[in-house]
Structure 1
Amino acid sequence: MAAIIINKASWEDLEILHNLGIQTFYESFAENNSEDDMQKYLEESFNINTIKAELADPDSTFYIAWEDDEPVGYLKVNCGQAQTELQDEVSLEIERIYVKKSHQGKKVGQLLYHQAVETAKALRKSCIWLGVWEENIRALNFYRKNGFVVFDQHIFRLGNDEQTDLMMKKVLE
């Protein structure tokens, strides 16, 4: 495997984020959800206009993991009013860390996580938080390994299906 490079995404990466978002979310959750719910969620959350609005939001930042010229994963972080829940000034939300199935288990997610920590520190945030589907054992283990603890839960709507996300946070030193 070639070295993985993490770059901040820009407007030129719109199509890449659109396609990478759809592919990685589908690969991560399709086998555990109905095709109708998956398609509805993908159409709502990963359409071009939604990605454009997210890229335009000054409180949201995307990073793309590259292996050579191939995008293999991405990270989306939010602060301030872009956060989906807490919306305080001391926290950074990791809204998405997704890696292509072909690159899972190869430390790409860990590199993206480290980018989130560096972003939080640069923004002088004291806490990182996120929501993880309670049935996503792989992700729960990943975040626990990185020092996150559960502090609450919320409902995540995937299509017409209401699922429970565990909200996890980590206080930064």
Structure 2
Amino acid sequence: MTAIQMAEAADAEAISHFAEASFKHTFAHLYDPADLSAFLADWNPPARIRAQIADPGYALALVRGDGGSIAGFIKMGPVDFDLPSDQPRDDAVELHQLYVAESAKGTGVARALMDWGIAWARARASTLYLSVFVDNDRAQAFYRRYGFYDVGRNAFRVGNHIDEDRFFRLDL
């Protein structure tokens, strides 16, 4: 079984570095280096992660791998993007991030974190949203297995580049 633990303030720097490395591994090839650098400079700094860990509206959980390194993490919290106008915002939460180390993919880490995130959301809301890159077929298939469905387009800015993401929704 995969042990999930709540993130603590002391984990903020490691989470920040892990998230950046995961984002780069998956998406860096899509962007001009200047756009990527501008995005990453403000995206997930340790200070923001520490503030979210301390904020009762958020929950950050992680799984550690060999040697105590992060094998995966999930960030849950309030909806902070502009949903399509036909989507309810009240009584909703967002899965902000779910990242798993390459070496941990296929080991159950993502499934354990997702199960934990959905349980966290169910205790607080009736709707769970997330945003996923339009061409990230692996992630979309994973979310669809949980019952998420596509509810619209989300413009996701990386520097001066605008990607098309899709909003996914899960009725809890």
The two structures have a TM-score, normalised by structure 2, of 0.87
Aligned residue pairs total 167
The one of 42, 45, 67 aligned to 1:44: 42
Determine the structure 1 residue equivalent to 2:109: 108
RMSD of aligned residue pairs (Cα, Å): 1.8
SS of structure 2 residue aligned to 1:157? strand
1:37 offset after TM fit, Å?
Answer: 2.1
The two structures have a TM-score, normalised by structure 1, of 0.87
Determine the structure 1 residue equivalent to 2:80: 83
Q: Are residue 117 (structure 1) and residue 112 (structure 2) matched?
A: no
Determine the structure 2 residue equivalent to 1:159: 159
1:90 offset after TM fit, Å?
Answer: 1.5
Once superposed, which parts of structure 1, at least 4 consecutive aligned residues long, lie more than 4 Å away?
none
Q: Could you list the per-position Cα deviations for residues 114-145 of structure 1 after superposition, in whole angstroms to 9, with x for gaps in the alignment?
A: 1111101222x111111111011111111112
| Amino acid in structure 2 at the alignment position of 1:137 | D
**In the alignment, is the contact (CA less than 8 A) between 2:153 and 2:166 conserved in 1?**
yes
1:36 offset after TM fit, Å?
Answer: 2.1
Q: Could you list the per-position Cα deviations for residues 29-82 of structure 1 after superposition, in whole angstroms to 9, with x for gaps in the alignment?
A: 113323222222111112223323333333121111112422111101113xx5
Structure 1: segments with no counterpart, 5+ residues: none
1:12 offset after TM fit, Å?
Answer: 1.8
Change (3 A) 1:127 1:96: same
1:148 offset after TM fit, Å?
Answer: 0.8
Distance 1:25 1:157 in 2: 14
**In the alignment, is the contact (CA less than 8 A) between 2:150 and 2:168 conserved in 1?**
yes
Distance 2:29 2:107 in 1: 22
